[in-house]
Amino acid sequence: MIVVLSKRLGPRDKERICAFLEERGFSPREQTLGDDDIISTAGKGAADIQELSLLPGVERVAATSKPYELASRETKNDDTIISVGPVKIGGSRISIIAGPCAVESREQIQETAARVRESGAVILRGGAFKPRTSPYAFQGLGMKGLELLKEAGEAQGMPIVTEVVSQERALEMRDLTDMFQIGARNMQNFELLKRVGAIGKPVLLKRGPSATIEEWLLSAEYLLAAGARDVALCERGIRTFETYTRNTLDVSAIPVVKRLSHLPVIVDPSHAVGIRAMVSSAGLAAIAAGADGLTVEVHPHPDKAQSDGPQSLYPSQFERLMRDIEALAPVVGKELLRTPRGLPLEFPRPEAVPESPPGGSPVAYAGENGAYAEQALIRAFGEEAPRLACPSFAAVFDAVLDGSAAFGVVPVENSLTGSLHENYDLFLRYPDIAMVGELKLRILHCLIADEAASLETITLVRSHPQGFAQCKEFLDRYPWKLEPCYNTAAAVSSLRREKGENRLKVAAIAGEAAAQGLQILRTGIETNPLNYTRFVIISRKNAGDKAPVPPSLGSERPNKASLIFSAPDTPGALYGCLRIMAERGVNLSKLESRPILGQPWQYLFYLDVGLPETDTGFETLLEELKTRTGEFRFLGAYRGAL
């Protein structure tokens, strides 16, 4: 039973409440739970809850059905947000803890701290005392290791968390660590839990390898009952009959615990799977399941790590994981703690994509091997689709028009930098080309250079102008000269043609797929991780003004259309056109004006519209629009990407 005290507590109210409880066989204990002052009860007493709730100074009485009263959501319905130094864990935040399994040297922990902080981790982890299965394995550097961890954390402005393994060490470590970690082996070391809880520092409580959820929450209860205010639960995998991974990540435990308890939940994907290649996937799954953060093992040289090297991420892998988390966060209604800017609430979902083109005909795209357009082509038509690389966007239209390619894939809009007007204008020049499909591709920019190059040797960066615009925040940090290229993949190809010392001075911004044989210096350098480019699939119109569509889209009803028109220079002309669409239930999703070449101060309107699921006479609508407009061009109806 928990007695929550009123904020207007009188000077003697608390004494009366405690006396009431003692008279009825309870041992009362004053504590703080979140923002509330409470009195928890122990013992086998009996009391009338209604009578107790009427005492002066009592706000409410929580009689829970769970044995873990302080940790139960029945006691505290709102999520608890704990504080570790300046860092908050819980609520709408996703907080990432990162660092090596163990502190091995000053150089190792300083380098790791700098790298994980740069990528966005907010708490530094590292073991000073390492309980190991074998007595001959590396056991950590002890207090010296903790001092090095504290030094690295202070250098990067990060609080630290480290494992405590004994009651005696807890007092020694108290002034050096910002958060205690109770390891899986010690989850039910109840004397240690009581000692650590009494110290009052934040605690990260790992689930034991064979512990039930209730046993895990009862261990948290020990900490809270002893006086701890800031406790986070850590799921790190449980022991099952499966042997392909180190443990089995109990993803289902995350929503279960979030329902049962108000405490934040952190997930340790490193120990859960024990295999480097699987850590990021497991971590993203945990975030999707509702975890409040991750604790991830990162080492600058995992192959040389003295413990847990096979499950430790390289810093570059951790950086990519952070970018993926930042993109995923809005989906689960959360925000990555390091992110200073607001993020859109929507996150594009994977769309249905077409099959390979018929008859083995190639699909055209602008650029070279590894271009984003080629990646979009692969997404749309599959890895085995024959491809035709073209030197320009106009060349893609030409290839489709003359039959060299059955389809083409061209970008028309970016979520950060807006429309690619060059390609919209091409639809005016090629009236026999139609839009027949659409997909959205996430753009993950990399800084690519020669294997011997570094950030210090670079003086010149090449990319498409849109690449520069999308990576402005990163580029502003360096005094590099920017040289535009017609395509990001072409910028990378130019690096391979450089000779001598020039190869060390030039870098390119492009996708990872374009970097074959070269070094990726930085991954995910775009300013906003929600960076998507919308590509359209084009084909040539046949007899009857119809264009063939990719096979898997042919049987699906179009739900989107694009068109271009000009409106007379009269009051309400544009309004009249839009009213026609509104009256027929056609939703306008994009409206943009463009100057008409050779006709100063006259404009064309580019529109994307959503089509209703039922036939409402769209063909009739188009005919009526033609009577209200000047130039009119229907670009195509297609199945839009989700």
Active site residues: 533, 535
Provide CB contacts within 8 A for 274, sequence distance 6+.
245, 246, 247, 310, 311
User: How far is residue 185's CA from residue 636's CA, in Å, rounded to a whole number?
Assistant: 63
Provide CB contacts within 8 A for 555, sequence distance 6+.
none
User: How far is residue 524's CA from residue 445's CA, in Å, rounded to a whole number?
Assistant: 5
What sections of 134-189 are H helices per DSSP?
143-156, 167-173
User: How far is residue 536's CA from residue 427's CA, in Å, rounded to a whole number?
Assistant: 12
**What 8-state DSSP symbol labels residue 525?**
-
What crossing angle do the helices spanning 393-401 and 421-429 adopt, rounded to 10°? Answer: 30
State the CB neighbour count (10 A cutoff) for residue 598: 6
User: How far is residue 602's CA from residue 71's CA, in Å, rounded to a whole number?
Assistant: 67
Question: In 87-122, which positions are buried (b, 16+ CB within 10 angstroms) versus exposed (e)?
Answer: bbbbbebbbbbbbbbbbbeeebbbbbbebbbebbbb
Q: Say how far residue 535 (Cα) sits from the centre of its chain.
A: 23
Q: Residue 443: helix, strand or coil by DSSP?
A: coil
Q: Are 591 and 604 in contact (CB under 8 A)?
A: no
**What 8-state DSSP symbol labels residue 428?**
H
CA distances from 34 to 5, 6, 387 (A): 13, 14, 60
Radius of gyration of the chain (CA): 31
User: How far is residue 21's CA from residue 283's CA, in Å, rounded to a whole number?
Assistant: 46
Q: Are 76 and 34 in contact (CB under 8 A)?
A: yes
Q: Are 494 and 502 in contact (CB under 8 A)?
A: no
With CA atoms as reference, report the closest residue to 608 among 586, 590, 625: 590
User: How far is residue 465's CA from residue 374's CA, in Å, rounded to a whole number?
Assistant: 18
Q: Residue 91: helix, strand or coil by DSSP?
A: coil
